[in-house]
């Protein structure tokens, strides 16, 4: 019954927002985010605590303002995702501009595929859709949702937007095959999860971080391209594909994993510092203890 309710609610909201002008939809998304900010006290408190400690902020009003903007950004991200079934290539190109596409072309020219590495930053789902429809086919690795019906619905939305996904827990062979076909593999690696990881510095604190991008790159020779999508004041997005991550090799596997995971974590942190309202501060990023 709960699964059915999740699916029905998502379909209903998606049907409504997909038929409204984009500007109106973003306003509604912001309202949803504001509502969540006030109705989710635990997440609001956690976001404020993380902002206070990570950005060394002392002005409580400023901290709450950024936290509220973070919720509003997520609200906009959700309604943008709900518009995926009616999104076409021309709309994606109008909403998202790219910098650094040449890095993808150069990486694929080597014939070993490339890893698009990002975080839960900006609208990461729109990043996948825009890369797939305007740059090159991209297959992200994702964690399936607990609700089977909702997971199936989200998968259909992604497919209509031009990309399919690989299950994080069962799809390692598919991920390797994707790179073997000289395609793009998407990995989001900025959260504390149950997957294999290492401890690296993140905003001055030890944070358990997935090392899969580094492990896969070292195994296959694929290039890692840190990539980020940034929401602009006018509601559009700017996607930046960075130059390849220079992997360090010491011939000691454990050391290589830590050193290179720290490298890409530093890049993710630099973007979050520039645009703090576009990251998921309500996530329990430092829950695993060293």
| Residue 200 near residue 94, CB atoms below 8 Å | no
- pLDDT of res. 180: 96
Cα 68 from Cα 56, distance rounded (Å): 18
Which tens digits make up the pLDDT trace of 82-137?
888 888 888 888 899 999 999 999 999 999 999 999 999 999 999 999 999 999 99
Tokens 């994702």 locate to 142
Strand ranges inside 124-283, DSSP E: 138-142, 166-167, 184-188, 197-202, 205-210, 223-231, 237-241
- pLDDT of res. 3: 64
- pLDDT of res. 16: 72
| Residue 19 near residue 79, CB atoms below 8 Å | no
- pLDDT of res. 171: 86
DSSP state of 173: H
| Residue 255 near residue 247, CB atoms below 8 Å | no
Which tens digits make up the pLDDT trace of 191-207?
998 889 999 999 999 99
- pLDDT of res. 290: 74
> Hey, where are the domains in the chain?
2-278
How many residues are there in the chain?
290
- pLDDT of res. 145: 83
- pLDDT of res. 68: 98
- pLDDT of res. 44: 97
- For 210, counting Cβ atoms within 10 Å of its Cβ (0-12 exposed, 13-18 middle, 19+ buried), the class is buried
Cα 132 from Cα 163, distance rounded (Å): 6
Residues of the chain with pLDDT under 70: 1-8
| Residue 212 near residue 206, CB atoms below 8 Å | no
- 210 SS3 class: strand
Angle between helices 2-17 and 148-160 (to 10 degrees): 30
Cα 166 from Cα 144, distance rounded (Å): 9
In angstroms, how far is CA 224 from the centroid of its own chain?
A: 15
Q: What's this model's pTM, rounded to 2 decimal places?
A: 0.94
- pLDDT of res. 64: 97
| Residue 176 near residue 220, CB atoms below 8 Å | yes
Joined together, the tokens standing for residue 9 give 């609610």
């Amino acid at each position: 019954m709960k699964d059915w309710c999740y699916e029905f609610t998502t379909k209903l909201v998606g049907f409504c927002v997909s038929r409204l002008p984009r500007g109106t939809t973003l306003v509604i998304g912001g309202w949803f985010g504001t509502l969540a900010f006030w109705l989710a006290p635990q997440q609001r408190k956690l976001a404020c605590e993380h902002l206070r400690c990570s950005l060394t902020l002392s002005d409580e009003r400023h901290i709450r303002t950024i936290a509220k903007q973070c919720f509003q950004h997520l609200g906009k991200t959700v309604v943008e995702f709900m518009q995926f079934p009616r999104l076409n290539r021309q709309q994606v190109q109008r909403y998202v501009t790219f910098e650094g596409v040449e890095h993808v072309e150069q990486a694929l020219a080597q014939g070993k595929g490339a890893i698009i590495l990002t975080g839960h930053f900006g609208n990461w789902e729109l990043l996948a859709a825009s890369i797939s429809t305007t740059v090159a086919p991209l297959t992200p690795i994702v964690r399936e949702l607990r609700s089977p019906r909702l997971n199936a619905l989200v998968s259909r939305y992604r497919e209509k937007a031009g990309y399919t996904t690989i299950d994080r827990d069962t799809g390692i062979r598919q991920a390797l095959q994707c790179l073997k076909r000289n395609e793009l593999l998407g990995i989001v690696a900025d959260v504390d999860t149950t997957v294999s990881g290492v401890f690296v510095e993140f905003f001055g604190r030890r944070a358990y971080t997935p090392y899969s991008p580094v492990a896969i790159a070292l195994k296959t020779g694929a290039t890692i391209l840190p990539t980020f999508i940034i929401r602009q004041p006018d509601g559009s997005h700017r996607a930046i594909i960075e130059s390849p991550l220079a992997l360090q090799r010491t011939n000691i596997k454990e050391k290589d994993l830590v050193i290179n995971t720290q490298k890409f974590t530093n890049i993710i942190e630099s973007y979050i510092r520039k645009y703090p309202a576009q990251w998921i501060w309500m996530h329990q990023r430092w829950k695993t203890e060293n």
